[in-house]
Amino acid sequence: MNTTIATPEYVALLEHGTTCPTCMAMDKDGKNLGLPCEPGDRIYQAYRQTLRGPAAPPQTGA
Ligand SMILES: [Zn+2]
């Protein structure tokens, strides 16, 4: 029962996905274009971090 918790990161991801014109961009057939969105990607990464647990060490890259 840990998949229904609305964390701030999850809420931010939902809000971004429903308000960001870049993430919502569709072609004329109504198919999401999946455009790259830097703010959206950062929000998504932050959300994924919450799935791994709060004790996950920060990733400093290679
Ligand atoms: Zn976006």
Per-residue pLDDT tens over the stretch 11-60: 999 999 999 999 999 999 999 999 999 999 999 999 999 887 656 566 77
DSSP string, 11-42: HHHHHHHHH-TTTT-B-TTS-B-----HHHHH
Q: Domain for residue 22, yes or no?
A: yes
Mean pLDDT computed over 8-12:
94
- 55 φ/ψ angles, rounded to the nearest 5 degrees: -90, 0
Domain count, the chain: 1
Q: Domain for residue 30, yes or no?
A: yes
Answer whether residue 61 shows pLDDT above 60. yes
Q: How far is the C-alpha of 47 from the C-alpha of 7, rounded, in Å? A: 8
Cα 7 to middle of ligand 1, angstroms: 19
Q: Are 20 and 42 in contact (CB under 8 A)?
A: no
Q: Which chain residues have CB less than 5 Å from ligand 1, an ion? A: 20, 22-23, 37, 40
Quote the tokens at residue 48.
């994924």
Cα 48 to middle of ligand 1, angstroms: 16
Q: Domain for residue 2, yes or no?
A: no
